[in-house]
Amino acid sequence: MSLELDRPYLVIPRFIEQPTWGGSYIVSYKQIQDEELRARKIGQSYELYGGSLLSLSSSSADSQFQQDLIEYNKLGRLSSSATHVKLQDLVDQNPSQVLGSSFPHKTMPLLIKFTQALGNSFQIHVKKSQKQSKWKPKPESWYYLEDGVITYGLKRGADLGEFKRVCLAVEEKMITLSTSLKNGALSYGRAKEKAESFIKSVNPWQFINIHKVKKHSIVDLSQGAVQHSWEEDPIHFPLGNIVYEVQLDVTDDESTIRAFDKGKIQPDGTIRKIHVEDYFAFIDTDPEHNDLNLAMKKREGQSLLHTPYYSLDAATIQKEVVVENPTSFIHIFVLEGELRVETPTRTLSVEKGHSCFIPRAVKTFALSPTQEKTSILKTHIG
């Protein structure tokens, strides 16, 4: 079957539940009315990735689009193939016309996520220049939609040997608690209490920098090898960290090196795999690279961020704007208002919290607000 390449598509987002650190922000932001989805703790919405489904609806307000979004995120599949196409099927038909002709990708190279994170592990990603076979680089960048709090980098003068000893001690303690919970020697509540007490006594946070991050800040982690994590502060930041993430589409198992998971343990005793030795083998200890000022990017006109892997722009649309598309696909996420996307063959209406994918084959298109003004984020390569 021949698929249309020269038209824009609404993206059906994929929600990722995160029972330990998700929330209700994302579903509310997208104005989804389904009570079951509103009750779930959603940590992330995949706005674009290799497995994305693209809707054939013309508006995110259409009942068919809303029905598909809800069905997909409840069942993990759609019962009908007549209402959507797979992004990968478009790419398979003509990679250069869908993704772009200036780079040799045959799958979507990016993962774009809308995230609510009530804390996350201490972690790093390797640099592209760190040649080894086990870990893949995962350049990523964050745009904050609300104020938040993070760790970034080692404190100047931090004792790396002592930091490693603390992380190993926490790992050993968590393995012991996991075993006791699994064999019935400890209750879930008691295991959590013991984890919290031990972690408080050794205090892994003493070695790293903690920063408050303001709304609209851009944190660029694309250089890799620097300690980073989202932090929890329920009093000052009850929503957690509300972040729009752009990164290479590489799985956590392949790319995320964790040294400390903050005592997270599941009721069945499951704990996440930790990689203390690799974390300290690949962490960048250069004090200059561990300074958050290096990672905080300043907006230049519409450009929020430009890296060798992706670019992120922001714009407020107050009247019709004609966009030329010279290099790659374009992904647009609507922050506020409602956007009209018009090409010679199709017109889409994209509401707040939703997004659309525009293949490289669409050479020119027009954007216009259907309300007084509309704010968007635009991701592309080049």
Mind listing the domains of the chain with CATH numbers? 9-109+309-380 (2.60.120.10), 112-297 (2.60.120)
Write out the two tokens for 120: 């996350």
Write out the two tokens for 238: 């009850």
Per-residue pLDDT of the chain (382 residues; tens, 9 = 90+): 569 999 999 999 999 998 878 899 999 999 999 999 999 999 999 999 999 999 999 999 999 999 999 999 999 999 899 999 999 999 999 999 999 987 778 999 999 999 999 889 999 999 988 888 899 999 999 999 999 999 999 999 999 999 999 999 999 999 999 999 999 999 999 999 999 999 999 999 999 999 999 999 999 999 999 999 999 999 999 999 999 999 999 999 999 999 999 999 999 999 999 999 999 999 999 999 999 999 999 999 999 999 999 999 999 999 999 998 778 999 999 999 999 999 999 999 999 999 999 999 999 999 999 988 899 999 999 8
Query: What is the reported pLDDT for 1?
Result: 53
Query: What is the reported pLDDT for 382?
Result: 87
Query: What is the reported pLDDT for 133?
Result: 84
Distance between CA atoms of residues 83 and 98, nearest Å? 20
In this structure, are residues 214 and 144 in contact, taking their beta carbons and an 8 Å threshold?
yes
CA neighbor of 350 nearest in space, from 11, 73, 87, 78? 11
Query: What is the reported pLDDT for 103?
Result: 73
Q: Which helix (H) or strand (E) holds 15?
A: strand 14-17
In this structure, are residues 232 and 205 in contact, taking their beta carbons and an 8 Å threshold?
no
Q: What is the pTM of this model?
A: 0.94
Query: What is the reported pLDDT for 358?
Result: 97
Distance between CA atoms of residues 23 and 227, nearest Å? 25
- What are the beta bridge partners of residue 355? 333
Torsion on CA atoms 198, 200, 204, 206, rounded to nearest 10: -150
CB contact set of 197 (below 8 Å; sequence gap of 6+): none
